[in-house]
Amino acid sequence: MITSKSMHPTGHKAPSPSSVVVIKVGGSVLEKLSDTFFQECVQLLNVGWSPVIVHGGGPEINRLQQWAGVEPKFVDGLRVTDDETLEWVEMVLAGRINKKLVTLLEQAGASAVGLSGVDRGMIRVRPADARLGWVGEVTRVDPEPLRFLLSMGWIPVVGSLGVDEKGQHYNVNADTAAGAVAEALGAEKMVMVTDVSGIRRNRNGAEEWLSCLTTKEIDDLIRSGDIHGGMIPKVKAAMSGLGGSVREVIITSGTVPDCLNAVWQPDGVGTVIVKEDERHGTLSHLSS
Ligand SMILES: Nc1ncnc2c1ncn2[C@@H]1O[C@H](COP(=O)(O)OP(=O)(O)O)[C@@H](O)[C@H]1O
Ligand SMILES: CC(=O)N[C@@H](CCC(=O)OP(=O)(O)O)C(=O)O
């Protein structure tokens, strides 16, 4: 349920107006977001957070490539991006999906501005790996364009493209871009909105959803193979954020109403990842 500022239910410390929360919206969930998702973004603004949306669009890029008769190729989860693929990537990340999210936020009552990492040279990159073509590794994020938009009370919507010193555009993994944006803005929280309700592990053949993890526990879950595929760039971005200003990273499903309440309510839905020294005890879980 959406609640107003005056109904702030938890007695939880309201954030200062400058508390930034970076919300990464995965391509996996874009078509399935709950009806209240964009109102929840506006609600965050109303209770004193500065939300910044960073989005992906992997499945949509796959669709375009397949429509053009090209089978998408990945190395370590990153899309091999030749000249033609970069065109599809830009169409999706700086075009269709970016503008769709802006419109949905506007319809929910926000002032939203879409941009990509190319705009004002915001996300600087270098080539990530010769095998990947035009895939960028982030070297620097200029937070000024985002700070300006936030100072106006507008919600920035960032497509995960990057640019190098020569003006060449690159495809950047959206989880990585979100982590880099969070770091540059000194964000307090990150939310990775995806198509699963957090991180799960297999325990004696049974699936267990984990409600709170530390960075050390994440390492163990990667080593055991419980965390794999698309979850790996998410937890890596989480860990790099937690190495800086970020206090908490929430991994949650965008299909569930009120998923963003986890930002300001202690018992929200999803997995919360915190620094090693922020929680004692063993793995906790929602159900087993
Ligand atoms: N331990 C895990 N817990 C939950 N999901 C996991 C885990 N390991 C891998 N995954 C996978 O990660 C996927 C989310 O990553 P991805 O498909 O890249 O989503 P997005 O487009 O939101 O970035 C889930 O749908 C799930 O299949
Ligand atoms: C280099 C690389 O792999 N870039 C990603 C960018 C989009 C993305 O990350 O989208 P999701 O959030 O839906 O995964 C890609 O081309 O799919």
Taking only the tens place, the pLDDT of each residue in 59-99 is 999 999 999 999 999 998 999 999 999 999 999 999 999 99
Distance CA 131, CA 80 (A): 7
Cβ within 8 Å of residue 219, ≥6 positions away: none
Ligand nearest to the CA of 161: 2
Give the catalytic positions in this structure. Answer: 24, 27, 58, 175, 234
| Rg, C-alpha atoms of the chain | 18
- Which of the 8 DSSP states describes residue 194? E
Residue 77 three-state SS: coil
Q: From ligand 1's centre to the CA of 123, what distance in Å?
A: 25
Ligand nearest to the CA of 62: 2
ipTM of the complex: 0.98
Q: Which residue shows structure tokens 């107003």?
A: 4
Selection from 41, 112, 224, 84 nearest residue 235 by Cα: 224
For the chain, the domains span 15-287
CATH for 15-287, options being 3.40.309.10, 3.40.1160.10, 3.40.50.980, 3.20.20.80: 3.40.1160.10
Distance CA 193, CA 25 (A): 5
Instruction: Tell me the torsion sign for CA atoms 42, 47, 52, 54.
Output: negative
Indicate if the pLDDT at residue 14 is higher than 60: no
Least reliable range by pLDDT among 181-190, 212-221, 262-271: 262-271
Mean of the per-residue pLDDT values for the chain?
A: 91
Indicate if the pLDDT at residue 6 is higher than 60: no
Indicate if the pLDDT at residue 287 is higher than 70: no
Indicate if the pLDDT at residue 4 is higher than 90: no
Q: From ligand 2's centre to the CA of 46, what distance in Å?
A: 30
